[in-house]
Structure 1
């Protein structure tokens, strides 16, 4: 029964992930099944050979980020060795203070543990009445949204594969405590939204970009409820590895 449920979740998520006005979100089964028209919208796509990729922040090595939720720390090891662009984007946003005050807008634990998702900049405004999960980071220097390419490094490969899903086992997988980027059905649509894996989610491997894992504070992640906020996020080690 668990195997069938896992395949069912995977099919719903991968076919039903939505794009709403620039959304970069991982949809749960209910919302995906109720929003068939959302896939009709479009978003800018960054191809792997696009020179715009060279302008994105990169993390050359590893960094440590400490995120505080309800007064308790969550320590994240961010892996720029195996996901340099995805990790660099996250560390850059942490340094900019983008995540401070943002809400966790999606928590899925039933019928089985799934993900805790946050990172929509619209959630910083407590008076925001729109649909959270539809926003991404806009670079103040350009006034344009920043989207990053899907970046997954297969085991045994020297470099990541960009802008497409893979069938090979990835170096960074969706084990419990993995931290990964949420996106729409467009591979190159991730921006600022991320999620914690509440359990092993192997059916997401090769389709979503994992860039780190929780090394301490998974008990804090397990207690996050929808509506809880990130009080702060700071780079405590490895900031010198970020290249802009």
Structure 2
């Protein structure tokens, strides 16, 4: 079990293969961290699929509008939506997109991140300074590595539950 130093800023994500623990970085990207905690506490991420999983790059999820397997899931729509909350301004930093980094997914507009995020499978330095990094996997990266690949995967894996460690 990962040593959780700051339960209020730690995400516990249950995947089919096991638990992934993510340390958020509120000092680096406070708005993105607050959004993830707000959506996690609302249960919005529960049962949401990984709709874009590219081998050697990253796994993307978090489309709370179109990616929930328990609701009206449509694989062609997954990845096109966000939450009902307003988009977030970019919070770029010097934190690199290293293996296990949690990054904010967005459109071409840097200020369009909402609920979607990705986890890097490897160091993706070409993303540095262009996408907000707001967390780091501290345990369970092997479960991210095991996710079904595809855009979208034929049988997508999903986040069974996403919680703030302080609430667990």
Give the TM-score band, short-chain normalised: 0.7 to 0.9
Deviation at 1:79, TM superposition (A): 0.7
Deviation at 1:128, TM superposition (A): 2.4
> Per the alignment, in what secondary structure is the counterpart of residue 89 of structure 1?
helix
Alignment-derived partner of residue 69 in structure 1: 15
* Greater relative contact order (CA < 8 Å, ≥ 6 in sequence): 2
> Per the alignment, in what secondary structure is the counterpart of residue 160 of structure 2?
strand
Q: Does 1:222 align with 2:162?
A: no
Q: Does 1:100 align with 2:43?
A: no
Structure 2 residues not aligned, in runs of 5+: 1-6
> Against the structure 1 CA distance between its residues 97 and 107, is the aligned structure 2 distance closer, same or farther, given a 3 Å change threshold?
same
> Against the structure 1 CA distance between its residues 127 and 136, is the aligned structure 2 distance closer, same or farther, given a 3 Å change threshold?
closer
**Among 53, 59, 65, the residue aligned to 1:116:** 59
Alignment-derived partner of residue 122 in structure 2: 199
Deviation at 1:83, TM superposition (A): 0.9
Name the CA distance, whole Å, in 2 between partners of 1:181 and 1:94.
Answer: 15
**Among 214, 228, 233, the residue aligned to 2:162:** 233
Name the CA distance, whole Å, in 2 between partners of 1:192 and 1:71.
Answer: 23
> Against the structure 1 CA distance between its residues 127 and 184, is the aligned structure 2 distance closer, same or farther, given a 3 Å change threshold?
closer
> Per the alignment, in what secondary structure is the counterpart of residue 151 of structure 1?
coil
Alignment-derived partner of residue 8 in structure 1: none
Structure 1 runs (4+) deviating above 3 angstroms are none
> Per the alignment, in what secondary structure is the counterpart of residue 215 of structure 1?
strand
Please tell me the root mean square deviation across aligned C-alpha atoms, in Å: 1.6
Task: Kindly tell me the number of residue pairs found equivalent between the two proteins.
Answer: 152
Deviation at 1:131, TM superposition (A): 2.4
Structure 1 residues not aligned, in runs of 5+: 1-60, 140-145, 154-169, 240-244
Q: Does 1:211 align with 2:154?
A: no
Considering fraction of residues, name the structure with more helix: 1
Alignment-derived partner of residue 45 in structure 1: none
Q: Does 1:149 align with 2:149?
A: no
Alignment-derived partner of residue 86 in structure 1: 32
Alignment-derived partner of residue 112 in structure 2: 189
1:71–1:231: 8 Å Cα contact kept in structure 2? no
1:65–1:236: 8 Å Cα contact kept in structure 2? yes
